[in-house]
Amino acid sequence: DPIDAGGHDGTARRGLRGGDAGLREQQSMDLAMARGDARYSRSDYTRAAQAYDDAITHMKPRTAAQQTGSMRRGYDLPWSRKGVALVLSGDIEEGIKCLEMALKINPSNVLAWINLGNALTKLGRHQEAISAFERAIEGDPRQEIAWNNKGNALARLGRYIDALKCYNSAIKLNPRYQD
């Protein structure tokens, strides 16, 4: 039992029982994330988004201004996952806002860039989607889905030659895109 760990003077016990608020906040966030992931895996996207929102409320620091820049690694994930869940539940605009917050926290989150591009595509905002896919590709040029989806957005704009180049890049990375 970790509460009983420590020296005979009881200092470790008092420290943990006294309320390590940071540890409790992290555990609450982790639990909410797990709940969101379970709901997401059952395609219950609305309830998944609510669980991810619970995870966001347990993050420290709590203000949006503090959630950018110096946040520790991983704090972008609840925002990103909530954004995807909202998009899949049909609330695309709100999902985009969450994905953008995730990217403010961690601009190198390649999957968030891909998901932002996908959401923008759903709204017919193809040029913005292309920019998001390009950011994903800059972060990880081996992301064949980013190449493929960029090609789709380019094709929707009638830029077929550019789209073919993207499709070829996706195929080089993963031959299953050839089908």
99 pLDDT exceeds 50? yes
- Give the tens place of pLDDT for each residue, 155-173: 999 999 999 999 999 999 9
pLDDT at 41: 93
pLDDT > 70? residue 20: no
Task: Assess whether pLDDT exceeds 50 at residue 2.
Answer: no
Query: What does the pLDDT read at residue 59?
Result: 78
Task: Quickly state the pLDDT bin for 74 (edges 50, 70, 90).
Answer: confident
> What distance in Å separates the CA atoms of residue 13 and residue 35, rounded to the nearest whole number?
29
Q: What was the pLDDT predicted at 22?
A: 59
Average per-residue pLDDT for the chain: 83
Return the half-sphere exposure (C-beta side, CA atoms, 13 A cut-off) of residue 3. Answer: 4
Nearest-CA neighbor of 100 among 114, 89, 116, 86? Answer: 116
d(CA 138, CA 66): 26
- Are 115 and 79 in contact, with CB atoms under 8 Å apart? no
Beta-carbon count within 10 A of 131 CB:
17
Give residue 61's pLDDT: 56
Backbone angles phi, psi at 62, to 5 degrees: -95, -20
Express each pLDDT in 41-71 by its tens digit. Answer: 999 999 999 999 998 988 765 444 444 444 5
Identify the DSSP state of 72: P
| Distance from the first to the final alpha carbon of the chain | 55
The model carries a pTM of: 0.80
Contact 110, 143 (CB under 8 A): yes
Q: For the segment 130-156, what is each residue's pLDDT rounded down to a tens digit?
A: 999 999 999 999 999 999 999 999 999
Neighbouring CB atoms inside 10 A of 21's CB total 9
**pLDDT for the residue 100:** 97
Question: Is residue 21 very low, low, confident or very high in pLDDT (cuts 50, 70, 90)?
Answer: low
> Would the pLDDT of 4 be above 50?
no
